[in-house]
Amino acid sequence: MVIVACSIDRAHAPSFLIGAALCLCVGAACIRTGDVFELVGSEHTGTSAAGSEVTGSNTSGGSEGGALEDGFAAPCPNVLPPTWIVCEDFEAPAELESVLFEHRSVGDTFVLSSSTGASGTRSLAMSYLEGGDARGSLAFGRSPTAYAPPNFAVDQDFTDIHVRIRFKADDAWSGFAADGFLRVSSFANSDWAHAATVLVSADVTGKLAIEPFSCVQGAVVECMQNYDFAHLRSLGRVLGPDIVFDPGAAQTWRCLELRMTLNSPGATDGSIAFWLDDMVQGSLEGLDLRGSWTEYGINQLGFSGGSPAPSAGQAWLWFDDLVISTEPIGCE
């Protein structure tokens, strides 16, 4: 079964279900087109597991009150909470090598920026430019590859991960799609073959989209290399309700949180969910992300930009205040 969440109550169950022949929506309209599920409507109301009503508005464009000024957010604390694996606000690093174990920046498309920052004056900037190649990866958890430092919690296996990151887009994104600008993955071998991955994309509609993929049959990882699309299988795609990538929503810091939960071995209880500014955007549940394969857990966060370019010639994204945790993080 597939579940798409409307409720803003992060701690409890989603407020409506969409299955093969069922679409039950509370306070909003739902659209199903193939394997794409979309929530539309200005407001959604649901009931939490505790029985109290929860209500939230789905607004197009920037955060309430207009664009958030630089420096509004809190930086990484000196002492991380015990559930946090990584926190990076990009204020201190002199170069990307001190944050990411690998990166590529053809055409200066993936750089540290001193022009803007959510929690200070600096951020990670990534662009889409014809002929460009922008990418970078952060390693955490036990991995089949001996990554060069930095890497984090290398002796732990993670099956349930929250990733929180603030981002801001410029005004060149109208009608431009960017598949997989952010991804969370479980890699199975030293050739970076995926067992499972979740892509966060900018849809051509201007909305955020999430799409999980699996490359496991039974206990066997079928992928042989990175992005082995001959074997990767999409498990569905969810569009959020908010317009984010559009000139009318540009230059506003937004807060994205993604949760990826691997299924129990041999079960179909995996899930993904994502929030924008602490509002649920969508989720998929009842997923078989890894079959009965258990050799590694979730172990990498990746960024990907570069080509193709939008009609405006170049589109920029800025990232700040990255946190990876085993528990919900939130935007405050």
> What CATH number did the domain enclosing 220 receive?
2.60.120.200
State the distance between the two ends of the chain, measured CA to CA, in whole angstroms. Answer: 32
For residue 325, the SS3 value is strand
> What digits encode the pLDDT tens for the residues 302-328?
999 977 777 778 899 999 999 999 999
List the structure tokens of 33: 């087109």
Q: What per-residue confidence (pLDDT) applies to 151?
A: 84
Please list the pLDDT of the chain residue by residue as tens digits (332 residues).
Answer: 344 443 333 333 332 222 332 223 333 333 333 334 344 332 322 222 222 222 233 333 333 334 577 899 999 999 999 999 999 999 998 888 888 988 999 888 999 999 999 999 999 999 998 888 899 999 999 999 876 668 899 999 999 999 999 999 998 888 888 989 999 999 999 888 999 999 999 999 999 999 999 999 999 999 988 878 899 999 999 999 999 999 988 999 999 999 999 999 999 999 999 999 999 999 999 999 999 999 999 999 999 997 777 777 889 999 999 999 999 999 98
* Cβ contact 292:184 at 8 Å: no
Residues 165 and 93 in one domain: yes
CA angle 40, 168, 140 (to 5 degrees): 100
- Closest by CA position to 126, among listed 175, 167, 174, 177: 167
Residue located via tokens 């990175």? 226
How many CB atoms lie under 10 A from the CB of residue 81?
11
Task: Please state, in angstroms and rounded to a whole number, the distance separating the CA atoms of residues 111 and 104.
Answer: 9
Strand 178-187 versus strand 300-304 pairing type: antiparallel
Q: Cα separations (Å) of 139 from 85, 102, 148? A: 11, 9, 9
Residues 44 and 114 in one domain: no
Residues 49 and 94 in one domain: no
Residues 115 and 39 in one domain: no
Domain count across the chain: 2
Residues 174 and 28 in one domain: no
Q: Does the CA dihedral 64-239-164-111 come out positive or negative?
A: negative
Residue span of the structural domain in which 16 resides: 1-58
Residues 45 and 73 in one domain: no
